[in-house]
Amino acid sequence: MYPKLVYNMEKLKANVDAAAKITKDDGGCSMMCVTKCVCADRKVCEMLAAHPSVDFLADSRVDNIKKYADLIKDTEKQSVLLRLPMMSEIKELVEYVDISQNSELVTIEAINEEAAKQGKVHKILLMVDLGDLREGIFFKEEEKILKTAEAIEAMSNVELYGLSTNLTCYGAIIPKNDNLSVLCNMADKVEERIGRKLTVVSGGNSSSIYLIWKGDMPEKINNLRLGESIMLGNDTAYGETVPGAVHDAMTLQAQIIELQEKPSLPIGEVGKDAFGNVPEYEDRGIIKRAILAVGKQDIDIDGLTPVDGQVDILGGSSDHMILDVTNCDKEYRVGDVVEFVLEYGALLKAATSEYVKKDYI
């Protein structure tokens, strides 16, 4: 059945190996594998849970972590909630998740209370915002960070596990030695204040991994949280390929339902398309147009690259995608399957869509 998202488990595992070689062997960091861009796909999580280089499985949603809590229950691996917890999910958080990233003392107090009720100790990564301006206590509020750390340290059912930061998400700020050093200095000060070492200083996501192969990662950073660099092999700071990783561990396959020769320019007065945009068209004369049974409900059309380099994506609507196959050596026919490599947004959407079947090779 099509459309389908095909996971090549061998390639995916090789990508984990490649990321681990850099992060762990070269960088001396522990590795959190981020499962959100594949919606914590069960088969992928089984592979990650069995992989000796994976130290933590991380996701932004408790719902996703719940799905794989059983896989790591009796192992050394721990689960991490990346998004700051909602007040409404504290009970489930404490029940299913080992570690969570936090910046709000009121939330941490609620976690402490719930953990006491459940007879548990929940671990906290206190987030520091280095200027990307999404989550975390702003780095210039040093006393607030230190006071929050002290307050956590004084609670009995939460443990201050470390500090963490997130970059290149909202503000698109690139991690560098200088901004990550601010986090490291803060970690030194927190350690001084609480009188012990922190377990983790987490230096960011897939945009930080390049610092290791550039030899520019501050010494004290000892953890990275990696999603896109593992799943898609992308360094997200400068768009390089993670050495040893591939971009096509996952592909999208869709089937041709119509193949007709028609003009490239629509005929009549141009209004708005199905999504309210006024489209622009290029006149290519009469072309061979293939329609695929997949659309914007299932994928992000701009985030797809055809494996057949002679295929050109013209556009699409909710349930259809239109290709120009005029210049293809391959003689496409109705029923043929066209394959695409995905960018992050397209992968996220395909993994989320219940209309996209999942297949494993």
Q: Which residues are catalytic?
A: 36
Asked if residue 225 binds ligand PLP (CB under 6 A), the reply is yes
Residue 103 engages ligand PLP in binding (rule: CB under 6 A): no
Per CB under 6 A, does 54 bind ligand PLP?
no
Structure tokens, 231: 């799943």
User: Shortest distance, CB of residue 127 to ligand PLP, whole angstroms?
Assistant: 8
Choose among 312, 342, 343, 307: nearest CA to 327. Answer: 312
Q: Which helix (H) or strand (E) holds 50?
A: helix 42-50
Touching ligand PLP, residues 182-211 (CB under 6 A): 205-206
Q: Which is nearer to ligand PLP, 36 or 77 (CB)?
A: 36
Cα 249 versus chain centre, distance: 15
Which member of 4, 36, 67, 122 binds ligand PLP (CB under 6 A)?
Answer: 36
Binding status of residue 55 toward ligand PLP by CB under 6 A: no
Q: What's the CA gap between 145 and 259, in Å, rounded? A: 61
For 237-279, the DSSP string reads: TT-PBPTT--S-SEEEEEEEEEEEEEESS--S-----TTS---
Cβ 209 to ligand PLP, closest distance in Å?
Answer: 8
To which H or E segment does residue 64 belong? helix 62-72
Say which residues have a Cβ less than 8 Å from residue 62's Cβ, sequence separation at least 6: 81, 85, 89, 92, 93, 96, 97
* Options 23, 30, 60, 100; binder of ligand PLP; rule CB under 6 A: 60
Task: Tell me which stretch binds ligand PLP (CB under 6 A): 228-236, 240-248, 266-274, 297-305.
Answer: 228-236
C-alpha closest to that of 104 among 77, 144, 153, 69: 144
Least gap, CB of 56 to ligand PLP (angstroms): 11
Contact between 79 and ligand PLP per CB under 6 A = no
Number of residues that bind ligand PLP (CB under 6 A): 14
What are the Cα distances from residue 77, in Å, to 22, 33, 197?
19, 11, 21
Give the range of 33-41, 67-75, 262-270, 282-290 binding ligand PLP by CB under 6 A. 33-41
Which of the stretches 10-18, 32-40, 176-184, 192-200 binds ligand PLP when contact is defined by CB under 6 A? 32-40
Give yes or no for residue 249 binding ligand PLP (CB under 6 A). Answer: no
Q: Residues in the site for ligand PLP, rule: CB under 6 A?
A: 34, 36-37, 60, 82, 166, 205-206, 225-229, 236
